[in-house]
Structure 1
Amino acid sequence: MTTYSAADVIAAERTALVGTLNEAGPAAPTLCEGWQTRHLLAHLILRETQPLVAAGVMGGPLGKRTERLTNEYAQQLADPASYRLAVQKFADLPGYGGMRKRWPVADAAMNTLEYLVHTEDVRRATGDLSPREVPAETQQKIWDDVRSRGRLLAGKSYPEGLVLEAPGYSPSTATIQGPKPGKVATVLSGQPAELVLYLFGRESAARIEVS
């Protein structure tokens, strides 16, 4: 079996995202409400080049500024040629402080799930919900990440408890939030990549079972 490092995983997910963005063009729909692919690309570039913009993605005091800068940049990418150049710019970015080459483990921790979700934001916006073929080794690393960050990803959406199941991976079950006395936890079951999509708010596009 091929051994996948964190650097291999993040490189593969970045390549998949770049290819998906190039194929879609600047005006394709995404699962991000109000965004076309050019908005998503603008977000990705600003996120890795302007820390204050990245901080505003989650809203708060910097939220309006982030939204304005993203929309302004996206407007510049409406032209297909400008869009293609921007996709290449994203592919060639060094990351924070040269993170992509100098600290691939940190790069993977920060960006693997982000890239995976945004790739599917483009792929599945057309209604085709077929899962992308993701190597089992990558799925395992995604599952490790989901188990360690599950409570943060789930937020307060499951106050009665949340259990994740990924059949075929080790360990196959992860209790993210224990159920309250007398309550039954929600169980989400599926491939790790599909669980990520669900936890990132793409419930209708994720191929999982809920019980």
Structure 2
Amino acid sequence: MSHAQDERTALVASLRAAGPDAPTLCDGWLTRDLAAHLVIRERRPDAAPGIMVDRLAGYTEHVQNRTAARPWGELLDTIASGPPIWSPYRPVDRWVNLAEMFVHHEDILRGRADPDVRWTPRPLSPEVERALRPTTKLIGRKSLSGLPARITLRTRAGSTLLTVGDGPDVTVTGTVGELVLYVFGRSPVDVDITGDDDAVVAVAGADRGL
């Protein structure tokens, strides 16, 4: 199995444990809504574009609401089976779905967490952390470039993943797993933000993510 498949299996197990009406880190979504999103992304090419394109979002929301109303066990079995053979995600599953499954798995695990309390992350293998690095860099270039500082993402082992933006230097340090969640705009995350005092305050209070 690939890392993406392993994380999918773990995500489905967490969904089963949480039930269909648990909170998530996705604003306004319960676990049933998050599950419906995952199904639409891989199985509804007519509705999936609205996930990223605002003018198509109304139709996507309509389809997602209908999908969320399906029996809970059926939704979970659909996610667990992975992208169907005709899905564009099928041949690239191991490369594009690890971060998707990881971030949404954490959305479930942290759904009841206090966003202002430091989170203790689950340990990830070195192999999974290496596999998450490219997504951290790609998304970080998009999500952090507008922040009021020059942001450097650094692992706790001292490796620099990315430097982006303009202004006073600010360093965000964490494990690769926490850094990928940070660039996706999730909270709580276990990171340290250091640098110019005013810039640190501005970065900590700024919107981030896509």
After TM superposition, is the score higher than 0.5?
yes
Q: Is the 8 A contact 1:48 1:96 kept in 2?
A: no
Is residue 26 from structure 1 mapped to residue 20 from structure 2 by the alignment? yes
Pick which of 65-74 and 158-167 moved more: 158-167
Q: 1:196 to 1:41 in 2, by over 3 A?
A: same
Please report how far the alpha carbon of residue 46 of structure 1 lies from its aligned counterpart in structure 2 after TM superposition: 0.7
Provide the residue aligned with 1:176 in structure 2.
163
Please report how far the alpha carbon of residue 184 of structure 1 lies from its aligned counterpart in structure 2 after TM superposition: 1.5
Identity among equivalent pairs (%): 34
Q: What TM-score results when the alignment is normalised by the length of structure 2? A: 0.81
Q: What TM-score results when the alignment is normalised by the length of structure 1? A: 0.81
Deviation string 1:134-174 (CA, Å, 9 cap, x unpaired) is 2121012112332344313x2543253221001227xx003
TM alignment of 1:88-167, pairs within 5 A: 88-95=77-84, 97=86, 103=91, 106-127=92-113, 129-152=119-142, 154=143, 156-167=145-156
What runs of 5+ residues in structure 1 fail to find an aligned partner? 1-6
Cα distance in structure 2, aligned partners of 1:110 and 1:151: 17
Is residue 191 from structure 1 mapped to residue 186 from structure 2 by the alignment? no
What runs of 5+ residues in structure 2 fail to find an aligned partner? 195-210
Q: Is the 8 A contact 2:144 2:165 kept in 1?
A: no
Cα distance in structure 2, aligned partners of 1:130 and 1:68: 36
Q: Match for 1:175: what amino acid?
A: L
Cα distance in structure 2, aligned partners of 1:173 and 1:156: 16
| Alignment coverage as a number of residue pairs | 190
Deviation string 1:1-37 (CA, Å, 9 cap, x unpaired) is xxxxxx6211111111111111111111111111110
Cα distance in structure 1, aligned partners of 2:176 and 2:84: 25
